[in-house]
Structure 1
């Protein structure tokens, strides 16, 4: 009887200890690790593992990674270094008392990468696939009534017009000409519309506008967007580049622009609109020699724009390519960002990485950063529009890019991991999931149709 009670007490104590441990900071940190991690070959990843946790590396998938310390493969109450030995995959297992599985993390060892940091101010011109509906413009008919034929037919703001009467459309002027010519022949218009992931066919009857004396359907449309951002990196051998760190969206509809073609050109910063609490600042950027192409734009993705440079660009601060660091190598504390605040001169400014949100799939807001450089704070107030894409460098390695400013505190903002930008560029294998943030000085001009 006594022995049975004693067993019950011991069991209850063990249960209480397990529950207490499960809500401890150590448990939350380990359980917060993503199920998949990436390490660049030659890097080491640090875990702090305290009793009663142990960590081992499974050997069934080869010897791509190994525990550097301790030598017996277990660690109790000490830091643990995972050393990447060769390309491949390994599994790290965290267990309670060496018996109860707590967390399993799959680690992929990727090839060493070196990139030239950006920081250059670039002008971006992006042409959409089709034209974007950005607003309604009522048509004054001959009877004096204002009507909206396109809206009445079911065309919505944010829709993308892909073709009219089976003619692929690529510009706002082309749309206006097709509508007017069809109206003169009293023909109905067949629109192929992209709305989200689906395509729709809608018929619209154009109306003669009493003001313009042209046939119209009552829409504002746009075929391109332009603005100023920052180059993040380029690969010196292939000339592949990444910039901005976030998707370019239409300024009226906030919908991502489906890239048909685009280009980046040189830009200069002629002034700064100082950032304030509740009012983000802005670089005043000017395109210079718009006919001088720096490179093309092949993709507009949730983590920026990507393409190829015509020639490698000069960066006086980093004339040679430097390594990249995966997200698990980033540390809380000092880092620097490269950006232009005057003319075309790339400068380095001190920042502090305040929070690291480890992610298993591509997501925004991976880093929380704070500008600490007194000169940058004096000149801009912190992070301003046009800085998106500014590379973040820590310990001599590219770790990410600035993407977003806190509206309530312009000294702070978000950054994305370089991991996700490398995936979008195709340099390392990609995992699918989507989200985005933007911080892009945006100039767009709608056309009336």
Structure 2
């Protein structure tokens, strides 16, 4: 009798173990299958925050299925129609996903004021006037006591900016010569204020009489202007604020960003194209005159381009009306267009592909990778060339950014910057006037 009971318990134990194994397998399959199911995948793809522009186009939002309702916390901000919203006005609101009246997901929604800009594409000539005078090198002066560089002795480095001499602001190279001559004749030092990075520093410099030409020298190569060519990206028709280039202008010798006092942009005519090859970027060759054909001022030189105000309306012959913009998360991989000049002053439209785009919450360069796909542009330029920087990128009727850099080993491809960061540096803050919904 005891033996029979033992066998029964043993069989029961085996059955229980088998049941546990079956339940474990079922749970394992469920743990794997549930996250891979379409509704769950859709749920995890719903962001915690949505930011969009107020315009005539509907706002697409992720959906989970027919049995799930989506409500808004403020009807004055949005009107709902199935899975599309239409922004009535800018503001902040909340989307709530509900199942049988039970909320399962909340999404913060920000609707920004509609910003429209006129795309550019024009070739422009650029002249910058530096803030103070930029030091670009040292040279030896053949003085009475041998060869030396007074500027180097005074601990003035390449890349420093001379802001003041004897307490007086310096705006051009010509102003320095008179200070040097006066100090040399009375054998006095010059009190120099320099800017190194973000720090201002004081030093003293003693001019040395050069025996070869009997003139007082400071042993520094200096520069107060810089010039080049690029492409207009956009302008805002009401304020006439513009953005161009899509990247900072750096000094050719120091390789450091130029701090500017002011500057000018002018019309430019492309005279020739040097095609790019693997390892060697191509280049636009263009002519322009700073004295003629002025288009506007330059007030800022930043990592996202040059910015200022136009003196008059400009046209590109392609898009005369302002277009809406796309935020970085709205940019899609796939076909797009760029506007640029490859001959004379004629703006042309060419096909490109957005290879990748990063949804950026904070300002950053190189937000997109683009590839030239237009056979005609590839034939004429080999891809992206120097001087094409700033060419506006248009996708689905919206301005999404600008061409910035070429890949040296693949001239058909390069980087692009998102338009929202260029707008911000142009002084067009798309987030500033966003109202808090009550």
Mark yes or no: TM-score above 0.5.
yes
In structure 2, do the counterparts of structure 1 residues 412 and 47 end up closer, same or farther at CA, with 3 Å as the change threshold? farther
- Could you tell me whether the CA contact under 8 Å between 1:39 and 1:107 is conserved in 2? no
Which among 128, 133, 136 is matched to residue 135 of structure 2? Answer: 133
Aligned partners of 1:365, 1:94: CA distance in 2, in Å?
35
Aligned partners of 2:338, 2:127: CA distance in 1, in Å?
24
Aligned partners of 2:322, 2:198: CA distance in 1, in Å?
39
Cα deviation, residue 64, structure 1 = 3.6
Match of 2:365 in 1: 364
In structure 2, do the counterparts of structure 1 residues 220 and 186 end up closer, same or farther at CA, with 3 Å as the change threshold? same
Point out the more displaced range, 196-205 or 86-95: 86-95
SS of equivalent residue, structure 1 residue 151: helix
Q: How many residues align?
A: 410
Pair 1:39 & 2:48 matched: no
Match of 2:90 in 1: 87
Aligned partners of 1:62, 1:201: CA distance in 2, in Å?
61
SS of equivalent residue, structure 2 residue 421: helix
Point out the more displaced range, 365-374 or 168-177: 168-177
- Could you tell me whether the CA contact under 8 Å between 1:41 and 1:110 is conserved in 2? no
The alignment's C-alpha RMSD in Å is 3.5
SS of equivalent residue, structure 1 residue 410: strand
Deviations 1:231-265 (A, max 9, x none): 11112232221111111111122222122111111
Cα deviation, residue 325, structure 1 = 2.2
Cα deviation, residue 371, structure 1 = 0.5
- Could you tell me whether the CA contact under 8 Å between 2:304 and 2:422 is conserved in 1? yes
Aligned partners of 2:287, 2:252: CA distance in 1, in Å?
19
Aligned partners of 2:97, 2:213: CA distance in 1, in Å?
72
Aligned partners of 1:201, 1:172: CA distance in 2, in Å?
19
Q: How does 1:438-449 map to 2 (within 5 A)?
A: none
Aligned partners of 1:110, 1:212: CA distance in 2, in Å?
65
Deviations 1:80-138 (A, max 9, x none): x565442012356899xx9998xx87543122222221111111111111111111112
Deviations 1:354-408 (A, max 9, x none): 1111100111111111111111111110000001111111122211111111111
In structure 2, do the counterparts of structure 1 residues 378 and 9 end up closer, same or farther at CA, with 3 Å as the change threshold? same
- Could you tell me whether the CA contact under 8 Å between 1:406 and 1:412 is conserved in 2? yes
Aligned partners of 2:43, 2:256: CA distance in 1, in Å?
37
Match of 2:356 in 1: 355
Cα deviation, residue 30, structure 1 = 4.5
Pair 1:121 & 2:123 matched: yes
Q: How does 1:40-119 map to 2 (within 5 A)?
A: 40-46=54-60, 59=73, 64=77, 69-70=82-83, 83-91=86-94, 106-119=108-121
Q: How does 1:144-223 map to 2 (within 5 A)?
A: 145-223=146-224
Where in structure 2 are there 5+ consecutive unaligned residues?
1-12, 433-438
Match of 1:438 in 2: none
Where in structure 1 are there 5+ consecutive unaligned residues?
71-80, 432-449
Match of 2:233 in 1: 232
Match of 1:346 in 2: 347
SS of equivalent residue, structure 2 residue 424: helix
In structure 2, do the counterparts of structure 1 residues 418 and 68 end up closer, same or farther at CA, with 3 Å as the change threshold? farther
Aligned partners of 1:357, 1:338: CA distance in 2, in Å?
22
Aligned partners of 1:254, 1:35: CA distance in 2, in Å?
40
Which structure has the larger Rg?
Answer: 2
Normalising by structure 2, report the TM-score: 0.82
- Could you tell me whether the CA contact under 8 Å between 2:329 and 2:360 is conserved in 1? no
Aligned partners of 1:216, 1:94: CA distance in 2, in Å?
75
Deviations 1:303-330 (A, max 9, x none): 1111111110122111222222222332
Normalising by structure 1, report the TM-score: 0.80
SS of equivalent residue, structure 1 residue 294: strand
In structure 2, do the counterparts of structure 1 residues 224 and 36 end up closer, same or farther at CA, with 3 Å as the change threshold? farther
Aligned partners of 2:203, 2:183: CA distance in 1, in Å?
15
- Could you tell me whether the CA contact under 8 Å between 2:96 and 2:103 is conserved in 1? no
- Could you tell me whether the CA contact under 8 Å between 1:371 and 1:411 is conserved in 2? yes
SS of equivalent residue, structure 2 residue 352: strand
In structure 2, do the counterparts of structure 1 residues 91 and 150 end up closer, same or farther at CA, with 3 Å as the change threshold? farther
In structure 2, do the counterparts of structure 1 residues 177 and 40 end up closer, same or farther at CA, with 3 Å as the change threshold? farther
- Could you tell me whether the CA contact under 8 Å between 1:266 and 1:290 is conserved in 2? no
- Could you tell me whether the CA contact under 8 Å between 2:115 and 2:430 is conserved in 1? no
Cα deviation, residue 207, structure 1 = 1.3
